[in-house]
Amino acid sequence: MKRLNLILGAAALVAVSMTASPALNAQENGNRDENGKIVRGPYETNRFGDNWFIGVGGGVNILWNEGYDNVKIGPSIDANFGKWFTPSVGMRVGYQGFSTQIWSETPSLLGTTLDTEKDMYLQKMGYMYIHGDFLWNISNALSGYKETRFWNFVPYLHAGFFRTYGLDDVKFYDNEFAMGAGLLHNLRLADRLDLIIDMRATVVNGRIHGADGVAVLPTVTAGLAVDLGWPNFMRTSTVVGAVELANLEKTAVLETAIVALEAANASLAADNEKLTKKNSQLSKQVKNLANKPEFDATGFFEGMTPAAVYFDIGKATLDEKQMAQLDFLARNLITTADKDTQIMLTVMGSADGNTGSMKRNQHLSEARGKYIFDILTTKYGISPERLLVKTEVIKNAAKPELSRAVIFTF
């Protein structure tokens, strides 16, 4: 009878999961491209400190063992700490414990008082389960990663060390290996806060309470999880993207794209050569200016042409030559200007098929602006109130390599 109940319970869980599928799909209205297809990776590898989470919760458990027809509900608590390595794959370690109860026809160290109505003995014990879990976010795997999704559906496998002990000073304990499967529901409450509903089944040897056969511990808990570090994932910018060579027509399109890229690379090489010569000249000027008297900036900034420093593609830091350019600007123009002069730092960026999405380039431009801002305020002692920072990301710039810049205007 008890096995039948467990089978029916498992079937009900599957039914709930199947019912939830339309709800999962309904959440994807903001996660599709212009053709209505679900957008998936690839994704940038997250840093070590990103996408960690910690969660706590409480709920109930039931201990069932072969040969026992009666079970009781007991309290349970959960604590977990883990990390998502990709939007779909994660791992965590956790603690589960409190107490559980089961009716027995015979007394033991865990219960010697006879219940005359049931003509059975209530066995009580405490337990703790230290486990490691392999998490699979099926919502992200099937429907693509979506930062603002309300409900994530996460099945997982778990295994670990299971220890039981007597309550009220009863000298009893046993240690066993345990394993099982679970289902985690993550409901997004805020950017870094989730409501978690954890349904877990743990299988362990019946020796944990002095019995034969297999013991099963179904548990349901609810609680909160907090995201640590940077909690999101960013798709990787690629030149061609994930290409499927399915037919000759697609192959011809790729060959055309390659020819265009080679032409663009040749143009970039020529521009880079010009910039290298210009940087060499600026480096010589910096050396010459180091031995000259202090620069008199009186009236210099009226009608002045904006100055700029340039970043390599995908970088938020300057190379050696551009650092020399920034040093020249800071020492000879900015720091010698009137202290009330406002300095506008315009951070340029370009978004197209070659250089990345609007979102990626907006994020990169803001990082470049903060980088220049920090150098000017910390290394050169420029008052933060004098610096005004704004970003401009241009879609399909004619020369995106010249748009990866921070422009100084006074």
The first and second tokens of residue 60, run together, are: 């109930």
pTM summary value: 0.51
Most confident of 28-37, 64-73, 243-252, 306-315: 306-315
Comparing CA positions, the residue from 360, 144, 348, 145 lying closest to residue 238 is 360
Q: For residues 332 and 304, give the distance between their C-alpha atoms in angstroms, rounded to a whole number.
A: 14
pLDDT band at 227 (very low <50, low <70, confident <90, very high): very high
Give the whole-angstrom CA distance, residue 295 versus residue 347: 27
pLDDT, tens digit, 9 for 90 and up, residues 263-311: 999 989 998 988 998 888 888 888 777 665 554 444 434 444 468 899 8
- Work out the average pLDDT over 336-363: 75
- Mean pLDDT over 250-270 rounds to 89
* Mean pLDDT computed over 367-380: 89
Stronger pLDDT, 127 or 12, i.e. the higher one:
127
Q: Mean of the per-residue pLDDT values for the chain?
A: 80
Q: Are strands 387-395 and 343-351 parallel, antiparallel or unpaired?
A: parallel
Contact (Cβ atoms closer than 8 angstroms) between residue 57 and residue 78: yes
Quote the pLDDT of residue 141: 87
pLDDT at 20 over 70: no
Q: Which residue has the higher pLDDT, 396 or 89?
A: 89
Centroid of chain to Cα 164: 36
Residue 11 has pLDDT above 60, yes or no: no
Q: Is the pLDDT of residue 45 over 50?
A: yes
**Amino acid letter, 343:** I
Percent of the chain exceeding pLDDT 90 equals 29
Average pLDDT in the 45-53 region? 88
Q: Which segment of 221-235, 284-298, 348-362, 382-396 scores lowest on mean pLDDT?
A: 284-298
Query: What structural domains does the chain harbor?
Result: 2-228 (2.40.160.20), 248-409 (3.30.1330.60)
Q: What is the mean pLDDT of residues 232-260?
A: 70
Q: How confident is the model at residue 217 (pLDDT cuts 50, 70, 90)?
A: very high
